[in-house]
Structure 1
Amino acid sequence: MNTPSASPADGRVLVWDAPVRVFHWLLAASFAGAWLTAESETWRLVHVTLGYTLAGLVAFRVVWGLVGTRHARFSDFVRGPADIWRYLRSLATGHPEPHAGHNPAGALAIVGLLVLAAATAATGWANDVDLGGEWVEELHEGLATAMLVLVVVHVAGVLIGSFAHRENLVRAMVTGRRAAPPAEAIRSARRWVAVLLVAAVAGFWAFQWQSAGSITGATGQAGVARDADD
């Protein structure tokens, strides 16, 4: 029988499962890589691959937000304007409301990032297949910039939250553990789901690389054939 995972010595309990943490860092790395390679034709394959990876990660997070562990579910942390405002006021007074999982303000940023990531990936695909013309490319760039701004806001919020709660929230997203009552602990880290997620991403990257190599090889052979005919 599974029991909630807690560390009585320091009062930290397992709050965020492995899939949530792996998703978080894969999303951050994929967006950073896609942003850095956006203007380079040499790195176009990497840019496109990371863009599609973003789309897949968002799809996974939506599903996991419905069927995942307690604090991974949207029903646990997505709140309305009144709750967000109350949390922000408590933060301003220096006595922030405790939340074992994501706080209401952080939840707003998370939902915004998921929406922007999905929209950015969708417009990137449309631009990649020449669907929609120049306005799609401009929209894609605008959405990517908006996502970058929200990422900066999110990071600032994490730093402010870490100071206000006197807890390293970045470390918590690595270990999954936060200072919270034992009743808030989840029963399992679901590491096998995280392993499957990493395997799926790695498999997709390998497929993209292999497909690009096959296309390049076929193009080179066609060029040699044309030279021979000439």
Structure 2
Amino acid sequence: MMTEGTFSAESTPSKPAPEQSWIKVWDPLVRIGHWLLLIAIATALITRGEPESLHQGAGYVVAGYVVFRLFWGIAGPEHARFENFIALPKATLGYLGGLLNGKAKRHLGHSPPGGLMVIALLLAMSATAATGMAMENKVPVPTIVQTLVPIELEAEEEDSPWEEIHEAAANLVLGLVFLHIGGVIAASIGHKENLVRAMVNGKKRAP
């Protein structure tokens, strides 16, 4: 015989699990620019001068993105602004240490290392685009650049003295891209969220 309490306990339906809430983090311009930049960098690295027009076109896309991102880092929405993600080295090291022991603080926008990567990529891409334009327009190498960076000025006529710096900057961009991919994978695993998907639909899990 069931008591009233037993009947009540058995007949009470279980509460449904709460639905996961999402927050819009990355605006459309950041997302479109991110993937367009990826295509442009891949095109520039694959074509490395052949065909020259395609290589230069990709370079101008990279240069255009840098100009846009500098503007958007000041005038864009919250998570796109530099003030939202530029952090001190101590915060970056603390986050990396936390990621290793599973205690890293989750950030809705860029994490401290992610913010540092944005700045590093912008600087490397600026150097790559600027030296590429200098090569294209046969700009003389300033004395201060010759002092800071050893450049072979007695190159063959068809070569540009900017070429060494351009190639070094391009290789730096490639290295940073691989480092960025590794960081995205590590953070996705550490915080149990798909950061690639977030850069597609703009949404991240609410805190």
Instruction: Give TM class, smaller chain.
Output: 0.7 to 0.9
2: CA distance, partners of 1:115 / 1:180: 32
Correspondence list, 1:23-38, <5 A: 23-38=33-48
Preserved contact between residue 41 and residue 62 of structure 2 (Cα < 8 Å): yes
Q: 1:20 aligns with which of 30, 49, 56?
A: 30
C-alpha distance after superposition, 1:165-203 (max 9, x if no partner): 11110010001100123xxxxxxxxxxxxxxxxxxxxxx
Ranges of 4+ aligned residues in structure 1 off by more than 6 Å: none
CA distance in 2: counterparts of 1:175 and 1:92, whole angstroms: 28
Higher RCO, Cα 8 Å, sep 6+:
1
Deviation at 1:57, TM superposition (A): 0.6
Q: 1:98: Cα distance to partner? A: 1.1
Tell me the CA shift for residue 111 of structure 1. 0.8
Deviation (angstroms), 1:12? 1.5
Matches within 5 A, 1:194-205: none
Give the equivalent residue in structure 1 for 2:99: 91
**In the alignment, which residue of structure 2 is the partner of 1:165?**
191
- Residue 71 of structure 1 pairs with residue 48 of structure 2: no
CA distance in 1 between counterparts of 2:103 and 2:161 reads 46
Q: TM-score, normalised by structure 2?
A: 0.80
1:137 matched to 2:163? The reply is yes
Contact 2:49–2:55 at 8 Å: present in 1 too? no
- Which of 103, 117, 127 aligns to 2:111? It is 103
1:34 & 1:9 partners in 2: Cα distance? Answer: 43
1:57 aligns to 2:80 (yes or no):
no
Whether contact under 8 Å (2:23, 2:204) holds in the other structure is: yes
Letter in 1 for 2:178: V
How far apart are residue 129 of structure 1 and its match?
1.1
Query: Which structure has the highest helix share of the two?
Result: 1
In the alignment, structure 2 segments of 5+ residues that lack a partner are 1-17, 141-152, 154-159
For 1:208, the equivalent position in structure 2 comes to: none
Residue-pair matches, total: 172
